Amino acid sequence: MSMPSATPVLAVRHAEKRFGAVHALKGVNLEAHRGEVLALLGDNGAGKSTLVKCISGVHALDQGEIRLDGEAVVIHTPAAARRAGIETVYQDLALFDNLTPAQNFYCGRELAFPKWLPQGLRLLNGRAMDREAAAVLDRLKVRLPKFDAPVALMSGGQRQAIAVARATVFARKVVILDEPTAALGVRESRKVLDLIAQLRAEGNAVILITHNMEHVIELADRAVVLRQGRKVGELKPARANQQELVSMIVGAEA
């Protein structure tokens, strides 16, 4: 575990979000530091998905602000979040079934030339993208049956690994993972947990949403618990306080 740096790479202040009559976020504060895994916990409907969607540009905050490296930023689209250095591994993975792993890696930010043309009119540098993607998958020890096959033909774990690996290529500050192991078996989950540890080792702030307490205790340096749109607790997860953590999530006395 590296030491958290002084200025949080990501800071959310007094986040407010309403959907009609539903008050999803009620003044939530959140900080994430480089080189740590922050578990974001809470029961269904606690507001964790809403919070990360606001950080990754899918929703806009009604009130409050998001700071990156101490500077207030406005993030209105997922593309803006990515440009700012925030990568998200969505629960639905946001993979293109009809494209290969390398094409998936670079979709929306293709390596292409010449630079003076607008991105859409440039010519794809397919070889460079294949090479880079293969190198990343190799570095992360992700093994795929076929590198040039569409991801439609790959298993849930392989697809998850591709989505996480894609985030690692471009992550510069924050990586958000929304229930990355929910649909996976034991062995494939292990692989994804290793990837998350790798993301942390590379100096990212990792925000992990999960319902799996074992994974939280194993991997998370810090846990923040949301309940009914409020932050109700924050602690360093360990075997000893697992019960306390669960009580916070469900709102019962320990």
Partner 1 sequence: MVREGTGVSATAAGRATLVSWALRLLGIGPLLILILLAAVVSLLTPDFLKPGNLGNIVAQTAVIAIVAIGQHLVILTKGIDLSVGANLALATVIGGLVFRQIDSAPLVMLAMVLAGAAVGTVNGIAYVYGRLPHPFIITLATLSICRGLALEFAVGHTTMRGMPEAIAAIGGSSTFGLPNSLFVVLGVAAVAVAMAKAMVWGRWIYAVGGQPEAALKMGIPVKGVLISTYVISGLCAGIGAVVLAGRTEASSPLYGNLLELDTIAAVIIGGASFLGGRGHIGHALVGAVMIGVIRNALNLLGVDVFFQMIAIGLIIVLAVEADVLRNRLEARARVMQAAGAQ
Q: Looking at 64-72, 119-127, 210-218, 221-229, which segment touches partner 1 (CB under 8 A)?
A: 119-127
- Interface with partner 1 (CB under 8 A), residue from 43, 110, 132, 244: 110
- By beta-carbon proximity to partner 1, the closer residue of 97 and 218 is 97
How far apart CA 190 and CA 229 sit, in angstroms, is: 31
Which residue from 96, 221, 232, 247 is in contact with partner 1, where contact means CB under 8 A? 96
Q: Cα–Cα distance between 174 and 111 in angstroms, integer?
A: 22
| 81-to-37, 41, 47, 73, 77 alpha-carbon distances in Å | 19, 22, 20, 9, 7
Distance between CA atoms of residues 67 and 45, nearest Å:
25
Does residue number 97 form part of the binding site for partner 1 (CB under 8 A)? yes
The span from the CA of 196 to the CA of 208, in Å, is: 9
Residue 34 or 82 having the CB closest to partner 1: 82
Is residue 153 a contact point for partner 1 (CB under 8 A)?
Answer: yes
- Indicate which single residue of 34, 59, 82, 200 sits in contact with partner 1 (rule: CB under 8 A): 82
Q: Which of 92, 239, 240, 253 binds partner 1 (CB under 8 A)?
A: 92
Residue 31 or 188: the one with the smaller Cβ distance to partner 1 is: 188
Only one residue has tokens 């009119």, namely: 121
Shortest reach from residue 90's CB to partner 1, in Å: 7
Say if residues 5 and 33 touch (Cβ distance below 8 Å). yes
Whether omega before 78 lies within 30 degrees of 0, making that bond cis, reads no
Give, as ranges, the residues between 185 and 244 that touch partner 1 (CB under 8 A).
185, 187-188
164 binds partner 1 (CB under 8 A): no
Q: Of the candidates 198, 204, 56, which has an alpha carbon nearest to the alpha carbon of residue 136? A: 198
Closest separation between CB of residue 95 and partner 1, Å?
A: 6
Residue 161 neighbours by CB distance under 10 Å? 26
178 near partner 1, rule: CB under 8 A: no
Residue 14 vs 141, nearer CB to partner 1: 141
3-state secondary structure 181-248: CCCCCHHHHHHHHHHHHHHHHCCCEEEEECCCHHHHHHHCCEEEEEECCEEEEEECCCHHHHHHHHHH
What phi and psi, each to the nearest 5 degrees, are found at residue 177? -120, 120
| Minimum CB distance to partner 1, residue 126 (Å) | 9
Binding partner 1 by CB under 8 A: which of 115, 145, 240, 252?
145
Interface pick for partner 1 out of 4, 8, 157, 237 (rule CB under 8 A): 157
The residue count for binding partner 1 (CB under 8 A) is 40
Binding site for partner 1 (CB under 8 A): 58, 77-79, 82-83, 88, 90, 92-99, 103, 107-110, 112, 119-124, 143, 145, 152-158, 185, 187-188
